[in-house]
């Protein structure tokens, strides 16, 4: 029997997890991981920036904010046809989900029909769909759900307290409102954040507590390691201790044992050993493909080579827990018959 999911985590309990010796924390995370997931399967999603740069928001980490001079090449909304070509390429190289991101505060009425056409088109290719477009009204969320959107990514990014120091053009509660619209419309929730932005240990505790105490855990929890962007206020922030990053992954896994925890931005700066530790700590999803939104990602071939060295296989489509248990038990039954037939 798996432990029941909790939504009432207290700060002191999360602090106690962070205070565990590294090996004890990883053992606990890995043990829990195995109760809910195939420990050798990792979900792979490919990202595409469908509208790049000139964003009105002032997120201090972001290459796409119009408030900073980051030397980014801006691009208006891509044609639907171009997006579908990229989605087909992602599918051909082994991705099971296609995530489309736009540098908007919120989608405009003018752009919305094209966005809906992208969802329908990508879905028709047999891929899971994910979008991240900023704030959504209830009506827009319902229209996306009706078009067949599987996931919406909307990060809380950090603790409520630190949020106001990183972004001033919107607030934390507006983020929660959009997440509530997404959940109510029946779209799966992808929500996580960024670490390595100079946040305190209390901020990391608060960030993970907010996610874990949502009425329902997000199905997908991206943990981004800050990619330092020249021209942004965070360009020279101090480096995070790599073991602290692994601890954050492990604590996310323990608090939200049934969620996919995604090792997101920042993998290019990690070596293979560090990524292997993150998978051991419970990360079971990655962005796959040579580019994230505007920054680079490990080459797809290198990721497949790493999977092979670690005995990891890409998860085909989101396998529901019960389906996985059924696979396990039929496998166990077959193994039992093989063993008994031998006697
Ligand atoms: N504009 C939409 C929004 O902010 O909701 C969607 C796109 S935004 C780029 C998606 C997420 O990417 C952010 O919430 C943040 O967590 C992550 N991100 C952006 N820039 C990053 C960076 N330089 N390093 C790490 N993560 C980053
Ligand atoms: C998420 O949490 N990480 C992705 C996705 N959601 C949209 C974005 C990472 C962006 C990294 C910086 C860039 O490439 O611009
Ligand atoms: Fe805009 Fe999203 Fe970047 Fe913030 S994170 S500046 S909202 S693209």
> Given the CA of residue 155, which atom of ligand 2 is nearest to it?
2
User: In the predicted model, what is the mean pLDDT of residues 98-126?
Assistant: 94
pLDDT at 130: 96
CA 341 – ligand 1 centroid, Å: 55
pLDDT at 216: 95
Kindly report which listed range (80-84, 147-151, 250-254, 330-334) carries the lowest average pLDDT score: 330-334
| pLDDT value at 205 more than 50 | yes
Q: What is the DSSP string of 56-115?
A: SS--TT-TTBTTS---PPPB-PPPHHHHHHHHHHHHHTT-SEEEEEE--SS--TTTHHHH
**pTM of the predicted model as reported, rounded to 2 decimal places:** 0.89
Mutate to test the pocket of ligand 3, among 52, 57, 102 (most ligand atoms within 8 A of CB): 57
pLDDT at 343: 32
Q: Residue 1 — very low, low, confident or very high, per pLDDT cuts 50/70/90?
A: low
User: In the predicted model, what is the mean pLDDT of residues 229-239?
Assistant: 95
pLDDT at 317: 58
Q: Is the dihedral of CA 172, 174, 175, 177 positive or negative?
A: positive
Mean pLDDT, all residues of the chain: 90
User: In the predicted model, what is the mean pLDDT of residues 102-123?
Assistant: 95
Alpha-carbon gap, residue 7 to 298, rounded angstroms: 35
Asked about 62 being catalytic, the answer comes back as yes
Question: How open is the CA angle 309-315-321, to the nearest 5 degrees?
Answer: 125
User: In the predicted model, what is the mean pLDDT of residues 144-173?
Assistant: 95
pLDDT at 290: 84
Instruction: Say yes or no: CB of residue 248 within 6 Å of ligand 3.
Output: no
What pLDDT, in 10s, does the model give residues 20-54?
999 999 999 999 999 999 999 999 889 999 999 98
CA 179 – ligand 3 centroid, Å: 16
Chain Cα centroid distance, residue 231: 25
For atom 1 of ligand 2, which residue has the closest CA?
Answer: 222
| pLDDT value at 186 more than 80 | yes
Asked about 278 being catalytic, the answer comes back as no
pLDDT at 167: 96
Spell out which residues line ligand 2, taking CB within 6 angstroms: 47, 63, 99, 101, 132, 153, 155, 192, 222, 224, 227, 264-265, 292-295
> Given the CA of residue 262, which atom of ligand 2 is nearest to it?
2
| pLDDT value at 229 more than 90 | yes
User: In the predicted model, what is the mean pLDDT of residues 128-132?
Assistant: 95
Alpha-carbon gap, residue 160 to 164, rounded angstroms: 7
Q: Residue 92 — very low, low, confident or very high, per pLDDT cuts 50/70/90?
A: confident
Six token digits for residue 43: 């979900």
What pLDDT, in 10s, does the model give residues 236-247?
999 999 999 999
pLDDT at 17: 98
Q: Residue 96 — very low, low, confident or very high, per pLDDT cuts 50/70/90?
A: confident
**E strand or H helix at 224, and its extent?**
strand 220-225
Chain Cα centroid distance, residue 87: 18
**E strand or H helix at 249, and its extent?**
helix 242-255
């Amino acid at each position: 029997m798996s432990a029941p999911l909790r939504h009432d985590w207290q700060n002191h309990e999360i602090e106690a997890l962070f205070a565990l010796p590294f090996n004890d924390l990883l053992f606990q995370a890995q043990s829990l991981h195995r109760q809910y997931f195939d420990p050798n399967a990792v979900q792979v999603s490919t990202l595409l920036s469908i509208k790049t740069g000139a964003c009105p928001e002032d997120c201090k980490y972001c290459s796409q904010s119009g408030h900073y001079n980051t030397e980014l090449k801006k691009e208006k909304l891509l044609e639907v046809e171009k997006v579908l070509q990229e989605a087909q390429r992602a599918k051909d190289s082994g991705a099971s989900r296609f995530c489309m991101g736009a540098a908007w505060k919120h989608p405009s009425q003018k752009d919305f029909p094209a966005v809906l056409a992208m969802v329908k088109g990508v879905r028709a290719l047999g891929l899971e769909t994910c979008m991240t477009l900023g704030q959504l009204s209830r009506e827009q969320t319902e229209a996306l759900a009706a078009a067949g959107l599987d996931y919406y990514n909307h990060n809380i990014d950090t603790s409520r307290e630190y949020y106001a120091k990183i972004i001033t053009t919107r607030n934390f509660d507006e983020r929660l409102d959009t997440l509530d619209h997404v959940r109510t419309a029946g779209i799966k929730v992808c929500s996580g954040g960024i670490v390595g932005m100079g946040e305190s240990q209390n901020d990391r505790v608060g960030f993970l507590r907010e996610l874990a105490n949502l009425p329902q855990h997000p199905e997908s929890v991206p943990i981004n390691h800050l990619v330092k962007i020249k021209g942004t206020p965070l360009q020279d922030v101090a480096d995070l201790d790599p073991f602290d990053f692994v601890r954050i992954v492990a604590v996310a896994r323990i608090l939200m044992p049934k969620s996919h925890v995604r090792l997101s931005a920042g993998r290019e700066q990690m070596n293979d050993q560090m990524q292997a530790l993150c998978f051991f700590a419970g990360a079971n999803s990655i962005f796959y493909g040579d580019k994230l939104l505007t920054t680079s990602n490990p080459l797809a071939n290198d990721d497949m080579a790493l999977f092979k060295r670690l005995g990891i296989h890409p998860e085909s489509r989101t396998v529901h827990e019960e389906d996985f248990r059924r696979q396990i038990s039929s496998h166990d039954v077959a193994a039992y018959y093989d063993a008994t037939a031998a006697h």
